[in-house]
Structure 1
Amino acid sequence: MKVTLLGTGTSQGVPVIGCTCKVCRSVDYRDKRLRVSVHLQVGDKSIIIDSGPDFREQVLRERIKSLDALVFTHEHKDHTAGLDDIRAYNFMQQKDMPLYAEERVLNQLKQEFSYIFSGFKYPGIPQVQLHPVTNEPFEVEGVPFMPIQVMHYKLPVFGYRIGDFSYITDANYISEEEKEKVKGSRVIVLDALRIEKHISHFSLQEAVELLEELQPERAYLTHISHLMGLHREVEQQLPEFIRLGYDGLQIKL
């Protein structure tokens, strides 16, 4: 499996519009963060988790020429807004795009992209197949996925474990039962929004403490805001097995 972090930023991305802080003015490419998303290449299968507003830019940058399915963690716009851009894959691959998500999330997509699901099919609109999932193992085009239910303040959100890789974003609480699904992962990607505590995301210290409990071989932090600080400075404070993620980072398992 090859994992590519397509975006590692929070809902506003980094730099933030109008901000002149040292992170937003940084010339370090690792401080430039598009909205959070990840690409999985598992054998010959190409799968993306979440299609945020930067979806088009991300797949162009990484030259992702085929896409077998989209999987969603939850319904917030920074994870779904780029759905329309799957049209290119519809055209190239001449087939509908499978979408995997909880029923609640699929219903939200139907509202926000109503033209996709209307009775009148305007020429060129995205073509999709909906696959509702629950908190039980399922397969995405033959690739086994294990949902990990976490809490994003009061909103249930899915992380996913795929083989030895676990991906959890937009979380600030994981139950003991759900932690058991993550244990034994060789690589974990986990959200850490900023230094200070936040109502709906893990802080840096909370993420580090959780990863020290779970003890993967390697861990990477994602969904990072400009309030976290400069990439090069924050990394110096982290345990050796934990690194800050950055856009374009590739992880091979």
Structure 2
Amino acid sequence: MGHATHTFTFMGTAAGCGVPAFFCDCPACDEARRDPRARRGDCGVMVRGEKTVLIDTPPDVRHQLIREDVRNIDELLYTHAHFDHLGGLGELEYLVQLVRKAPLPTYGSAEALEGASIEFHYMTYCLDMRELAPYEQVELDGARYTALPVTHAPGTYGYLIETPETRLFYASDTGKLPPETAERVRDVDVMAMDATFWKRNWSPDAHHSVQECIEEGLELGAKTLYLTHLAMHYDEPVTLAELEEYLRQYGGRVKPAADGLSFAF
């Protein structure tokens, strides 16, 4: 066995509008107002080795970067260009202007990069945009990232992240995985996947429920499965306490992701 060389950090783990949502008084949002452990910002992750790689720039990204004591970002990847994954991009403008003084290498599908260019047209000078085709691989800081199509908006990717020690699949927004993507992520060491809904799923073409995520993740042989993009309250609300109780049946193999949760890989 080699030794872990990278750290994976959940920057945010909520579906759009976060937990608590400012407009919501459901039991899950009430719990999050009382208990910081239950609070969630919009979804993004960070991979740190020698360098710092950010996947997505959610609206909360400035607070997330301060929380994790980040001083620089070396590469940026996008899963897709919906607001809850893109909306914080403007927070990086002064990093580029004042610190980096060079455009930030930014990877994603044609659709994601186009979306970013339209929404943040005044930011394009800050970004060195590098389009990834489906299944294309890029080596960043000693880890290999493979862009895998998932079931969501056109051009949405999950990323298979591989080091010599570990295979990790991150897909914050997806319904049932397309067959080729599913095959490529079979038996990964770690899977962090969309678990937006509790029980009833309004949009199975774009998201999983908790139950669907667990069923698919375990069927694909994931050794550890993290539930992320958790709404907690889109339909039937579920508190973190209730979710943790429900997950006990899986003996530690299935875990709720949490903002700031990190592990070495």
Matched, 1:171 2:183: no
Tell me how far apart the structure 1 counterparts of residues 258 and 154 of structure 2 sit (CA, whole Å).
Answer: 26
Q: Which moved more, 1:108-117 or 1:50-59?
A: 108-117
Matched, 1:12 2:21: no
Contact 1:86 1:97 survives alignment (8 Å): no
Q: Which residue of 225, 229, 233 corresponds with 2:238?
A: 229
SS in 1 for 2:243: helix
Contact 2:19 2:29 survives alignment (8 Å): yes
Letter in 2 for 1:19: C
Matched, 1:218 2:221: no
1:93-152 C-alpha deviation (Å, 9 max, x unpaired):
3322111011121111111111224xxxxxxxx622110111122233564211121111
1:167-192 C-alpha deviation (Å, 9 max, x unpaired):
01111121221111111311110110
Taking only the aligned residue pairs, the percentage that are identical comes to 29
Q: Which residue of 4, 7, 13 corresponds with 1:2?
A: 7
Matched, 1:25 2:30: yes
Residue 69 of structure 1 corresponds to which residue in structure 2? 75
Residue 198 of structure 1 corresponds to which residue in structure 2? 202
Structure 1: gaps (5+ residues): 118-125
SS in 2 for 1:79: helix
SS in 1 for 2:112: helix
Tell me how far apart the structure 2 counterparts of residues 74 and 128 of structure 1 sit (CA, whole Å).
Answer: 16
Contact 1:56 1:82 survives alignment (8 Å): yes
Structure 1 residues 201 and 150: alpha-carbon distance in aligned structure 2, compared to 1, 3 A threshold = same
Tell me how far apart the structure 2 counterparts of residues 116 and 92 of structure 1 sit (CA, whole Å).
Answer: 16
Tell me how far apart the structure 2 counterparts of residues 38 and 23 of structure 1 sit (CA, whole Å).
Answer: 23
Tell me how far apart the structure 2 counterparts of residues 198 and 235 of structure 1 sit (CA, whole Å).
Answer: 23
Normalized against structure 2, the TM-score is what? 0.87
Residue 51 of structure 1 and its aligned partner are, at CA, apart by 0.2
Contact 2:227 2:256 survives alignment (8 Å): yes
Q: Which moved more, 1:200-209 or 1:177-186?
A: 177-186
SS in 1 for 2:151: strand
Q: Which residue of 82, 92, 97 corresponds with 2:99?
A: 92
Tell me how far apart the structure 2 counterparts of residues 93 and 172 of structure 1 sit (CA, whole Å).
Answer: 37
RMSD: 1.5
1:64-110 C-alpha deviation (Å, 9 max, x unpaired):
11210110001101111111111243222332211101112111111
Contact 1:15 1:226 survives alignment (8 Å): no
Residue 34 of structure 1 corresponds to which residue in structure 2? 41
1:215-243 C-alpha deviation (Å, 9 max, x unpaired):
22211110011325111211221212001
Tell me how far apart the structure 2 counterparts of residues 99 and 202 of structure 1 sit (CA, whole Å).
Answer: 27
Tell me how far apart the structure 2 counterparts of residues 48 and 87 of structure 1 sit (CA, whole Å).
Answer: 15
- Spell out the pairing of 1:23-172 with structure 2 (5 A cutoff): 23-26=28-31, 27-41=34-48, 43-90=49-96, 91-117=98-124, 127-135=126-134, 136-140=136-140, 143-152=143-152, 155-163=154-162, 164-172=167-175
Tell me how far apart the structure 1 counterparts of residues 159 and 238 of structure 2 sit (CA, whole Å).
Answer: 27
Q: Which moved more, 1:197-206 or 1:85-94?
A: 85-94
Structure 2: gaps (5+ residues): 1-5
Matched, 1:186 2:186: no
Q: Which runs of 4+ in 1 moved over 4 A?
A: none
Tell me how far apart the structure 2 counterparts of residues 134 and 142 of structure 1 sit (CA, whole Å).
Answer: 21
Letter in 2 for 1:233: E
Letter in 2 for 1:202: H
